[in-house]
Amino acid sequence: MPVLLRRRTVLGFAVAAVLLALAAPGALRADDEFIIVQSTTSTQNSGLFEHILPIFTKKTGVEVRVVAVGTGQALKNAENGDGDVVLVHSKPDEEKFVADGWGVKRHDVMYNDFIIVGPAADPAKITGLKDAAEGLKKIAAAEAPFASRADDSGTNKAELKIWQDAGIDPKPSSGKWYLETGSGMGATLNTAVGKGAYALTDRGTWLSFANKDDFKVLVEGDPKLFNQYGVILVNPAKHAKVKAKEGQAFIDWLIGPEGQAAIAGYKINGEPLFFPNARPQS
Amino acid sequence: MLDPTVPPGGLKAALDGVRPLLPLELRRLTYAASGKRVIDRLDLTVEERGITAIMGPNGAGKSVLLRLMHGLIAPTSGEILWAGKRMDRELARRQAMVFQKPVLLRRSAAGNIWHALGLRGIDRGERAIRVDGALKLAGLERLASMPARVLSGGEQQRLCLARALSLEPDVLFLDEPTASLDPASTLAIEGLLIAAQHRGIKVVVVTHDVGQARRLAQDVVFLHHGRVTEHEEAKSFFASPHSEPARAFLAGGLVL
Amino acid sequence: MTGFIDAFHTALRLIATLDPQLIEIVLLSLQVSLLAVVAASLIGFALGGALAVYRFPGRGMVTAVLSALMGLPPVVAGLIVYLLLSNAGPLGVLQLLYTPTAMIVAQVILVTPIIAALTRQACEDLLEEYDEQLRSLGASSSAIIGTLLWDGRYRLITAVLAGFGRAIAEVGAVMIVGGNIDHVTRTMTTAIALETSKGNIALALALGIVLLVIAFAVNAALMGVRRFAVRLAYA
């Protein structure tokens, strides 16, 4: 029988493939020290984590693994105990999270702001407005396309609040000019750019977004567009597996001088994306 | 050529000192499928002594009868007794069968024999000896490492027979082994069967080839509509068959 | 359009220079899917062979369910594994969520039905030819399964390649149970999804090209195996 077909050769190949798969470095290494942080896609898309996390790991040797989903899902995952720390941007939900006993304590970490972006042509004529609600009113009146994340995220909740302030319910127009993508910030921006639609986005994601086409920042500076991020340790009393010690170490670092400096140091084209605003610990 | 000195129950068995298998007795054997009685209250005794040929028109139930004897299918009713004992694993291991169409695995010729011996639990050293012996017996040594399925029809069937013989069976069943083979291959196969019989193996062969039966058989079983119409010495069977269907068959007519 | 052409050039450069980030992601994908396929093959071969050889009540139903599971949507497999492995779920103690192991488990669930169903079919086809002869030779049921599996090895290789193709290309399962964590559970497919959402087309394109090459290679191997087998009358 030719060499290629001998039973031993075939089995030999199979074993070699398996060993190769196991031996290659990375993925299947034994359990190093790590924590899981449930955070949001907009924070991840901004690139902040790639900048600040290595600094923390270098100092403490603890790896930080970020699972990026919408704010609502991040908090729900934490309730299930599938994370050690939560870092999201929806203060009312965060406070409820702690009040319900799922989190230990909420700390301010940083803020940025939301902006409304849109095509250079600006059919709804909202450029330069200082009132976000006013901008949305004009978009609705013009029935100009608007892409919403519609994914229970912090950004989405902020957007819905502004619609509420404007006294408009966009949901009935879903599928017509109000496009609910159910996706993260980046995917929604892709849709917006693709369809020439307006969108509400956080500045961080927008600055690092690489597919802007001719889109511009049209509305900014409204205090209602203020976007506060908070960090919470998942309550180890509810889930014994929570790595409370390492998680708290991360939070302490994040709201301490080093973490805050790292956040401030993250810039794109000289512009910072996030502004640290943790209050000094008493 | 009947040899009255051969003890009943199997020459080979006697030589090996193990319990004899034969005679094989079939009593009121019935096999029904889809409501039809393929074998119908059949009675038959097969002795040691010579090659037994089973003949009959198509549809008479010859292949089914062979499979019942070998234990591949179970009868609907009736008994199959080997020297008075029912078929069991030990008895089954002392038999082998060759089918009309050669059935060979996707391995080399030698590999096929090797595999069959492995199934019987023969240890490796003995296996190597038997594989060599079987290939030599069938004249297939130079084809030992060829993929079995690229061999010619005649070579494949010789290989199947060699494989069966390597198991050193006491009884060898064959179902129309040379039906689709050329004369040279047929001759080779028949030579192997005669040699096997001389070594003490009981051979039961289903054949529709009258010439082959004349050449090989010591006794002939004639089957018609699932029953044995005749069972006697080959010489007298071919000289003057008793039953009407057998007579018509030998005369070359269609037997309904 | 020019943006895309630039991205394409960058993508080719990333591949040509063996960009470390690219390599890390590709290697992880291969590890996860290869291990999943190995495990799925061991289970699938045994299951498929047993289904072909053993007769038992309910056999038809198991066969039908297995065939249906071939079309299990990856996201659904991911969802099921997620619910099991979450800390709020029954197997939370294993702490497997968001690890490559969880991804392997999810892909094993996806791939095993494919391999098992194709194995069963191959064994049944072979059994038609071999059943009587093997029983005549006195083979036990387990010996028959072993014989059929080796005899059908070329069809089984085809099944394994098909299973691998499914595993390496899916994104739903690994995304949900792996969490797309940088350096830990980010595979080619989840990375493409992420980088595209960041508008980072160059890296997404590079990964996409590599994934396509792998998919084509698997397909070519599949055809090569078939032709090879036929040529040797081993088909």
At A179-188, the pLDDT tens digits run 999 888 888 9
For chain A (282 residues), the mean pLDDT of every run of 10, in chain order, is 49 63 47 87 89 95 93 92 94 95 96 94 93 94 93 90 94 90 89 92 88 91 91 94 94 95 92 88 54
In the prediction, which pLDDT does C201 show?
A: 83
In the prediction, which pLDDT does C7 show?
A: 83
Tell me how far the alpha carbon of residue C123 is from its chain's centroid: 20
For residue B151, being part of any structural domain is answered with yes
Please tell me the total count of domains within chain C: 1
B15 touches chain C (CB under 8 A): no
Strand, coil or helix: what is A134? Answer: helix
For residue C18, being part of any structural domain is answered with no
Answer whether A34-112+227-276 and A113-225 agree in fold. Answer: yes
Alpha-carbon distance of B185 to B191, in angstroms, equals 10
For residue B27, being part of any structural domain is answered with yes
Report the candidate in B29, B226, B114, C207 with the shortest Cα–Cα distance to residue A7.
Answer: B114
What Cα–Cα distance (Å) separates residue B116 from each residue in A1, B120, B164, B167, C49? 18, 7, 8, 8, 19
Strand, coil or helix: what is B53? Answer: strand
In the prediction, which pLDDT does B11 show?
A: 60
In the prediction, which pLDDT does B14 show?
A: 60
Q: Do C138 and B92 contact (CB within 8 A), yes or no? A: yes
Half-sphere exposure (Cβ direction) of A11: Cα atoms closer than 13 Å = 5
Question: Containing domain of residue B93, as a range?
Answer: 11-250
Please answer yes or no on whether C197 and A41 come within 8 Å at the CB atom: yes
Which own/partner contact pairs does B122-130 have at CB distance under 8 Å and 24+ positions apart?
Answer: B130/B166, B130/B168
Which superfamily is assigned to A113-225 in CATH?
A: Periplasmic binding protein-like II (3.40.190.10)
* CB contacts, 8 Å: A236 with chain C: none
Spans of all domains in chain A: 34-112+227-276, 113-225
Residue found under tokens 């234990």: B71
Tell me how far the alpha carbon of residue B228 is from its chain's centroid: 17
Alpha-carbon distance of B243 to A251, in angstroms, equals 103
In the prediction, which pLDDT does B5 show?
A: 53
Please answer yes or no on whether B103 and C139 come within 8 Å at the CB atom: no
Alpha-carbon distance of C224 to B126, in angstroms, equals 38
DSSP-assigned beta bridge partners for residue A271: A268
For residue B226, being part of any structural domain is answered with yes
Q: Sheet containing B52-55: which strands, arranged edge to edge?
A: B95-98, B171-175, B202-206, B52-55, B219-224, B227-233
Please tell me the total count of domains within chain B: 1
Please answer yes or no on whether C28 and A187 come within 8 Å at the CB atom: no
Between strands A103-118 and A198-202, the pairing is antiparallel
Half-sphere exposure (Cβ direction) of C46: Cα atoms closer than 13 Å = 5
pLDDT tens-place values along chain B, 256 residues long: 344 554 444 566 666 667 778 899 999 999 999 889 999 999 999 988 889 999 999 888 999 999 999 999 999 999 999 998 898 888 889 999 999 999 999 999 999 999 999 999 899 999 999 999 999 999 999 999 999 999 999 999 999 999 999 999 999 999 999 999 999 999 999 999 999 999 999 999 999 999 999 999 999 999 999 999 999 999 999 999 888 889 888 888 787 7
Tell me how far the alpha carbon of residue C233 is from its chain's centroid: 28
- Alpha carbon distance, N-terminus to C-terminus of chain C: 48
Select from C29, C45, C85, C87 the residue whose CB has the most chain A CBs within 10 Å, as the one to mutate to test that interface: C87
Report the candidate in A99, A121, A89 with the shortest Cα–Cα distance to residue A226.
Answer: A89
For residue B133, being part of any structural domain is answered with yes
Please answer yes or no on whether C136 and B96 come within 8 Å at the CB atom: yes
A3 touches chain B (CB under 8 A): no
For residue B3, being part of any structural domain is answered with no
CATH of the domain at B33: 3.40.50.300
Q: Do C174 and C189 contact (CB within 8 A), yes or no? A: yes
Q: With the C-alpha atoms ordered A188, A197, A116, A264, is the resulting torsion angle positive or negative?
A: positive
pLDDT tens-place values along chain C, 235 residues long: 666 788 888 889 998 999 998 999 999 999 999 999 999 999 999 999 999 999 999 999 999 999 999 999 999 999 999 999 998 889 988 889 999 999 999 999 999 999 999 999 999 999 999 999 999 999 999 999 999 999 999 999 999 999 999 999 999 999 999 999 888 899 999 999 988 888 788 889 999 999 999 889 888 988 888 888 777 665 4
Amino acid at C16: A
Q: Do B73 and B64 contact (CB within 8 A), yes or no? A: yes
DSSP-assigned beta bridge partners for residue A37: A66, A85
Alpha-carbon distance of B4 to B136, in angstroms, equals 32
Strand, coil or helix: what is C11? Answer: helix
Report the candidate in B36, B42, B97 with the shortest Cα–Cα distance to residue B71.
Answer: B97
Q: Give the pair of three-digit tokens for residue A34.
A: 């790590």
**Pairs across B and C, CB distance < 8 A:** 44
Surface of B (219-238) touching C: CB under 8 A? none
Q: Do A62 and A250 contact (CB within 8 A), yes or no? A: yes
pTM above 0.80, yes or no: yes
A2 min Cα distance to partner chain B (Å): 9
Select from B66, B98, B119, B159 the residue whose CB has the most chain C CBs within 10 Å, as the one to mutate to test that interface: B119
Which superfamily is assigned to A34-112+227-276 in CATH?
A: Periplasmic binding protein-like II (3.40.190.10)
Select from C129, C130, C136 the residue whose CB has the most chain B CBs within 10 Å, as the one to mutate to test that interface: C136
Q: Do A271 and A260 contact (CB within 8 A), yes or no? A: no
Alpha-carbon distance of A77 to C191, in angstroms, equals 22
CATH of the domain at C102: 1.10.3720.10
For residue B256, being part of any structural domain is answered with no
Question: Containing domain of residue C136, as a range?
Answer: 23-231
A211 touches chain C (CB under 8 A): yes
B111 touches chain A (CB under 8 A): yes
For residue C81, being part of any structural domain is answered with yes
Q: Give the pair of three-digit tokens for residue B250.
A: 């030998």
